[in-house]
Amino acid sequence: MAEQISDEVISIRRDFHMNPELGGNEFRTMDKICEYLDLWGVEYKSNVADTGVVAIIRGNKKGKTIGIRADMDALPIKEEANIEYKSLIDGKMHACGHDGHVAIALGAAKILKSMGPNLNGNIKFFFQPAEETIGGAERMIRGGCLKDPDVDYVIGLHIDTDIPTGTIGIKYGKMKASSDEITIIIKGESTHGAHPHKGIDPIFIASNLVMSLQSIVSRNISPTNSALFTIGSIHGGTKGNVIPEEVVMNGILRTLDEDTRKFMKNRIKSIIENITRGLGGNSKIIINESYGSLINDDDVVNAIRTVANRVLGNENVIIIEFPSMGTEDFSYFARSVKSCFYNLGCRNEEKNAIYPAHSSKFIIDEDCLKIGVMLQVENALELLNM
Ligand SMILES: [Zn+2]
Ligand SMILES: [Zn+2]
């Protein structure tokens, strides 16, 4: 079935690719999704979290409800890939493969709709906005997408140019990191560079902090756990002979579970406050929490692994050993119900599908789309019977 609709799924994906929209502005993408769902007679609700769509296929027999999630947004990148279906919108590009995710979910919806009456349960589809920006997943969940009927399991995939077409990468447990943006403001007392004893030097304090904050990962976190804190910007001062009043630093904290996240935040605060105070300055810390860590459920991973072994062959199912410190807002689904997120291989040297996501040259091997459709259909059926 997936083979038969392969060309259609490719052309659906190319249309989205040529018309990329940024997070929160996926209006055309939403309308197009609704057009296809109308065409195939799939029930849906649009404008969920502004530009999202929740579709449902109701089986005649009672059973579980499975959710298939596809993110919809593009990136503010000027496309430099040499392809015939290049982005028509200057400065915007589907460089993370979300166009493919939507096309795969639509293909799966078409096939599952044709099986509709025989399904022993329901399949929901979450076409989700703003993965790259404000976390559309959380907004859709708050909008009630996991309720009525209540969803038992959610699955999602991400196109991946690191692994070849025809393979998938799957991970038990912790898969992706949580993210918190931390701003540190160090207040000193401005004075002449030649008379440092008459003021308090915030640059000296900031230098101490950069070094000391790295001790948390190396000295307080178990070597077998993972966490990182990167200071990505430091601003302070105007002239070599002036000690400034203030330094502002910006950093990013990444962890893989809530306990470590909480611990890291407390240690960061404690080191900043104590060192700054000890050196005579004052500090202010602002923490902006972003996505939580993505943790897959073992039972759902096993179900998807079983399907992939059957459809792709055991040798094409890669069990990922280490988590990534990148983020993914599918984590909100995984925190709410048992879920699995996996990587769909789309690397193909002959087609130049070798560049990483978020590259202006990002190209996917479109043969991965029919594989994605086939897997999501089979996964949904497998989970209905779990
Ligand atoms: Zn991305
Ligand atoms: Zn992405």
Domains of the chain, by residue range, sit at 6-176+293-384, 178-289
How confident is the model at residue 26, as a pLDDT? Answer: 98
- Rounded to the nearest angstrom, the distance between the alpha carbon of 362 and the centre of ligand 2 is 12
- Tell me the three-class secondary structure of 60-113, residue by residue: CCCCEEEEEEEECCEECCCCCCCCCCCCCCCCCECCCCHHHHHHHHHHHHHHHH
In this structure, which ligand is nearest to the CA of 99?
Answer: 2
Residue from 267, 237, 234 nearest 251 by CA: 234
In this structure, which ligand is nearest to the CA of 72?
Answer: 2
How confident is the model at residue 119, as a pLDDT? Answer: 95
| Beta-strand relationship, 174-176 and 294-295 | antiparallel
44, 291, 332, 342: which one is catalytic? 291
To the nearest 10°, report the CA torsion of 171, 382, 161, 323.
-10
Residue 332 falls in the annotated catalytic set: no
- Rounded to the nearest angstrom, the distance between the alpha carbon of 357 and the centre of ligand 1 is 6
How confident is the model at residue 248, as a pLDDT? Answer: 98
131, 132, 328, 366: which one is catalytic? 366
- Rounded to the nearest angstrom, the distance between the alpha carbon of 158 and the centre of ligand 2 is 6
In this structure, which ligand is nearest to the CA of 101?
Answer: 2
User: 3.40.50.150, 3.30.70.360, 3.90.1640.10, 1.10.8.60: which CATH number matches 178-289?
Assistant: 3.30.70.360
The residues that bridge with 233 in the sheet, in sequence order, are 250
Round to whole Å and give the CA distance between 90 and 68: 31
Classify domain 6-176+293-384 at the CATH class level. alpha beta
- Rounded to the nearest angstrom, the distance between the alpha carbon of 95 and the centre of ligand 2 is 8
Three-class SS of residue 256? coil
- Rounded to the nearest angstrom, the distance between the alpha carbon of 98 and the centre of ligand 2 is 6
> pTM for the full model?
0.94
Q: Which residues surround ligand 1, an ion (CB under 5 A)?
A: 96
- Rounded to the nearest angstrom, the distance between the alpha carbon of 281 and the centre of ligand 2 is 41
CA terminus-to-terminus distance, the chain: 23
Helix, strand, coil percentages for the chain (3-state, nearest 5): 35, 30, 35
How confident is the model at residue 77, as a pLDDT? Answer: 98
Model confidence pLDDT, tens digit, residues 218-250: 999 999 999 999 999 999 999 999 999 999 999
Beta-carbon contacts of 21 under 8 Å, excluding residues fewer than 6 positions away, are 27, 28, 29, 72, 73, 74, 92
- Rounded to the nearest angstrom, the distance between the alpha carbon of 203 and the centre of ligand 2 is 38
Q: How far from 146 is each of 66, 114, 139, 302, CA to CA, in Å?
A: 10, 23, 11, 22
Q: Across the 386 residues of the chain, what is the mean pLDDT of every consecutive 10-residue run? A: 92 98 98 98 98 96 96 98 95 98 98 91 98 96 97 98 98 98 98 98 98 97 96 97 98 97 98 98 97 97 98 98 96 98 98 98 98 98 96
In this structure, which ligand is nearest to the CA of 76?
Answer: 1
Round to whole Å and give the CA distance between 206 and 191: 17
How confident is the model at residue 325, as a pLDDT? Answer: 96
* Cα dihedral sign, 197-202-203-204: positive
In this structure, which ligand is nearest to the CA of 341?
Answer: 2
How confident is the model at residue 302, as a pLDDT? Answer: 98
How confident is the model at residue 75, as a pLDDT? Answer: 98
Work out the widest C-alpha separation in the chain, in whole angstroms. Answer: 83
Q: Which residues surround ligand 2, an ion (CB under 5 A)?
A: 96
How confident is the model at residue 17, as a pLDDT? Answer: 98
Residue 291 falls in the annotated catalytic set: yes
- Rounded to the nearest angstrom, the distance between the alpha carbon of 179 and the centre of ligand 1 is 14
